[in-house]
Amino acid sequence: MQWLRCAYRRHCLALVVGLLTLLASSVAGAQAGLEAINIQTGPDGAQTWSLSLQALALMTLLTLLPAMVLLMTSFTRIAIVLGILRTALGTAQTPSNQVLIGLALFLTIFIMQPVFTEVYVTAVEPYLAEEMDAGTALAAASEPLRTFMLGQTRSADLELFLSMSRASDVNGPEDVSFWVLVPSFVTSELKTAFQIGFLLFVPFLIIDLVVASVLMSMGMMMLSPLIVSLPFKLMLFVLVDGWNLVLGSLAGSFEI
């Protein structure tokens, strides 16, 4: 797990630092003259230190950044499918949550690497080289993510949130705001993940039904069918090279 976390940090550190730099500069530019730390000197010479609203906003954004990044990537679909797969196998806590989340993060990096690379090349590098201002860099950084999310979002989900937001000035996908696109994308990802999970569940459910029927016909009603069916499900999953099929299908389900 340690090497997996290090790999995740190495791939995403530049992107996260760049986005934080852009956001910090935007806030600082919007609130010119507002310092992060205010120092006030009392009548007796004592000094009081207080954080400004700018620093508070940045710290709040820092806590929300992981959730925002995960919801705008392929992580949601992958994590849900892997969780459903473990439930279908009936292996309780094997693989553990740490293994599944680590695998989901690694696969997310693999799938999102072209998008992250485009964000870094088109927005972060020019901004660090002082070739564009913060606002232009933020707009450039949002385009690859917007393109990725629009490619995975269903029209019905997008229309639902557009009608809920009562947006009347939308003439095409390029006019959809992030406030509408992100929940539409997450809703589509949830639906797609449950569809894939259903297809994964069916063969294991058939094995459970067959084993339960055989045990009942033999009068062994006190024996749990899950105990008997588990080896057969594991054998089936190994024989068909299940991990290869599941991970390959998940990566192939994204248009990359």
- Average pLDDT of adjacent 10-residue blocks, the chain of 256 residues: 45 47 44 49 56 62 74 88 88 84 88 86 80 77 83 84 75 74 88 90 87 81 76 86 86 76
CB-count exposure of residue 248 (10 Å: 0-12, 13-18, 19+): exposed
Q: CA 7 to CA 226: how far, in whole Å?
A: 37
Q: CA 162 to CA 149: how far, in whole Å?
A: 15
Whole-number pLDDT of residue 2: 47
Helix (H, G, I), strand (E, B) or coil at 90: coil
pTM of the model: 0.71
Query: What is the enclosing helix (H) or strand (E) of 160?
Result: helix 155-165
Are the C-beta atoms of 186 and 156 separated by less than 8 Å?
A: no
Q: Is the dihedral of CA 83, 181, 152, 156 positive or negative?
A: positive
CA 149 from centroid of its chain's CA atoms: 11
Q: Is the dihedral of CA 173, 256, 251, 117 positive or negative?
A: negative
Whole-number pLDDT of residue 138: 77
CA 119 from centroid of its chain's CA atoms: 16
Q: CA 16 to CA 68: how far, in whole Å?
A: 11
Whole-number pLDDT of residue 244: 87
Whole-number pLDDT of residue 31: 42
Whole-number pLDDT of residue 136: 79
Q: Which two tokens stand for residue 189?
A: 């990802």
Whole-number pLDDT of residue 52: 56
Number of Cβ atoms within 10 Å of the Cβ of 73? 23
